[in-house]
Amino acid sequence: MANVFTTEAVSRLAQLGPPQTAADVVALAAVGVASAAYMLNGVVWNKPDPYNYVWYQVMEPRGGAGAGAQATRNIAQKLEESGKDVVIFWGSQSGTSETLAGRLAKECHLRFGLQTLCADLCDYDPETIALIPQTKLAIFIISTYGEGDPSDNTAGLWEWLHKRPFDIKLPHLRYMAFGLGNTSYRYYNRVIDVVTESLDKAGAQRLMPVGKANDASGGTEEDFLAWKDDLYDVFMGQLGFKEQDIPYTPSIKLIEDESLTLIDLNLGEPVEHRTGPARVIKAYSPIRPLTVQSSEELYSSPNRNCLHMELDITNQAELRYGTGDHLAVYPINSDHEVQLLLKAIGREDRAETPLLVQPVEEGETVKIPSPTTLSALFRHYLEVSAPVSREIVGQLARFAPNEKAAGLLSSLGKDKNGYAAFVSKNHVTFGRLLSLVAPGAVWKDLPLSYVVETLPNLQPRYYSISSSSVVSARKIAITVGVDNTPLAADPSTEVRGVTTNYLYSLANSINGTTSKSAKLPKYAISGPGGSLEGNKVYACIRRSQFKLPTVGTTPLIMIGAGTGMAPFRGFILERARLKAIGKPVGRMILFFGCRNPDEDYLYRQELTETAASLDGLLEIVPAFSRADGVPKAYVQDRVGEKQKDVCELLQNGANVYICGRASMAREVGKVVEESMKQQNNWTDADARSWAESAKKGNKWLEDVWG
């Protein structure tokens, strides 16, 4: 409409002829300026964000085998078209459930001749589960993470089961289930409990008790093996399946193709591919190479280090973070582990040969990029430093280069205690295992497809951002704890964090302190094809619910230990900035736990200075577990000692934040509930109800790990 009116005005002025007076000139100029301003709207001024379309975009694979769209989202139709007998659904946040599901699918085929489909829960519409016929079997392997939360790719199933549960009818579904959880969390294996209860109420037939893994003491693998033995008893007894020994049959094929050039290959760049509900996909930014501008060592001890790293996103206009978000860092495997595995399988001279990775069965997907090279697979795409399970150890016996190695592997695979004793002396990665049981031998009978299928995909590691987006919008800080504890005197047996030691190596390179780390693993820190030169790492931002309240006067209770301090540094810096510009700020208490005030008290001087600038609005309550001359105390002890202040803040609308180990969060939660119970003369049920309500209302937030 504005354009029509402007055009008419110009037309009428034209009919009057040339301007006669100064007023005419001014009027005509005003119309001209208004017309120009309108026509240039969105071009010169009020321009849209050119990167808006890519911020938290749907990520797609670069290309290669299996990169196409899923043929159907109807799981019943997929089973029928592919001639599968069993579907094994997996729901995983870190990749463990996916790995177990893949192993189970392979073994069900090898031992019983069953045609199995390993299915990502978010690849199929959950309502089509109701269409699975009684002639098929469904197995669910689903993890619980956080405080009883489903994994991202389980969200669709979770929402379907909760949306209209009384409308779901599953009279033909026969299923088994296994859950992955951790008793350090309050809601141990809640997701598998809720899913199976919902399936049962809908009329599904559960063929055996639900299996559960407890990772609190690293028991996931053995719990899974015990459940799998029970599963096979059901297969042979109740279902009448006959056990047989079928030769290994690969699900992928790797084809060398020297006609491919470097420009065709995926040499290590992370694959931007996410599936699932839109809200999950939008929680992630694009993956970009970010410059590590600086790295400072917060403390150093013989077996532990801690880094404060700052990453510059000035040149990444599409990236924005919020205080409390996470940074996902994509690691690189150490040179030693890569070369060890290449040597054991006799592929050192073919490591850079172009490889096509393709599914054996048409329509199946491959979750590693293709084309690529073996060097890129082992260095950037597969977890070559992951421990090897007892089950895999036993399977490797059939490919052993000599009878002695075969006997040892077979024995370890069958003997739980023998395997436990073996791994207590050796950190058993794939390459180390092959070298240990057959020193100097080449595993020429070990199919490359088996190695690639067996190794889990290399996953990013998540770090709480320790900076404030209000204070430094284009600079992201993370706090990285590095554990260098050896298992034994032999350095080759050491257990080293993949990402933390990669970042530590990069930090030493930035600061010119490589001589200090002569015994540490070496990494190709320049990245694939030099893409990370200039001290860069591949990373993306993940949105978090661990956020400051929108009202700055809301009181805060922050509780963390070790690197659990990270998000609270950002919170405190942001509140200090608000106060500095004259905004009202609420009272804050920070409970922080560490070993010794002279060793690992993170950001001590900065916190002291910031507290002073806040004029008494921030109280810091430390807890030292190994300080000389001071009784041992943990953060939950300090929370109990400050019970009166904590309850007063809570009654005044404070938000509670807990960050750190799940076991710590659980103990702190007990103390907070007990404090409110005593303060208000509540029953246990009242205190639990209050805590649940606070969590649902985002007044009690936790960012914890196992």
Total-model pTM: 0.83
Q: Where are the domains of the chain?
A: 2-39, 84-236, 306-331+460-542, 556-705
- Name residues whose C-beta falls within 8 Å of residue 420's C-beta, 6 or more positions apart in sequence: none
Task: Tell me if the domain spanning 84-236 has CATH number 3.40.50.360.
Answer: yes
Where does residue 2 rank: exposed (0-12), middle (13-18), buried (19+ CB within 10 A)?
A: exposed
Phi/psi-derived region of residue 182, left when phi > 0, alpha when psi is between -120 and 50, beta in every other case: beta
For the chain, helix, strand, coil in percent to 5 are 40, 20, 40
Average pLDDT over residues 585-598: 95
Q: Does the structure show a pLDDT above 80 at 215?
A: yes
> Which residues lie across from 461 on neighbouring strands?
329
Q: Which two tokens stand for residue 467?
A: 């900076």
Q: Check residue 17 and give its pLDDT.
A: 53
- φ/ψ of 347, rounded to 5, equals -120, 15
pLDDT digits (tens, 9 = 90+) for 28-84: 455 454 454 444 444 444 444 433 333 333 333 334 444 444 468 999 999 999 999
**Cβ–Cβ < 8 Å for 542, 462:** yes
Q: Would you say the CATH fold of 306-331+460-542 matches that of 84-236?
A: no
pLDDT digits (tens, 9 = 90+) for 284-304: 999 999 999 999 999 987 778
Domain 306-331+460-542 fold is Elongation Factor Tu (Ef-tu); domain 3 (2.40.30)
**Cβ–Cβ < 8 Å for 668, 559:** yes
Percentage of residues in the chain with pLDDT exceeding 90? Answer: 71
- φ/ψ of 551, rounded to 5, equals -90, 120
Q: Does the structure show a pLDDT above 50 at 8?
A: no
Q: Does the structure show a pLDDT above 70 at 679?
A: yes
Task: Tell me if the domain spanning 556-705 has CATH number 3.40.50.80.
Answer: yes
Q: Does the structure show a pLDDT above 60 at 491?
A: no
Terminus-to-terminus CA distance in the chain, angstroms?
60
What radius of gyration do the chain's Cα atoms show? 29
* DSSP line for 413-435: HH-HHHHHHHHHHS---HHHHHH
pLDDT digits (tens, 9 = 90+) for 107-116: 999 889 999 9
Q: Check residue 273 and give its pLDDT.
A: 64
Q: Check residue 441 and give its pLDDT.
A: 96
Nearest 10 degrees: Cα torsion 689, 690, 694, 697: 60
Cα–Cα distances in angstroms (integers) from residue 558 to residues 105, 565, 590, 609, 615, in the given order: 44, 9, 5, 18, 18
Q: Check residue 331 and give its pLDDT.
A: 97
pLDDT digits (tens, 9 = 90+) for 508-551: 999 987 545 456 789 999 999 999 999 999 999 999 999 999 99
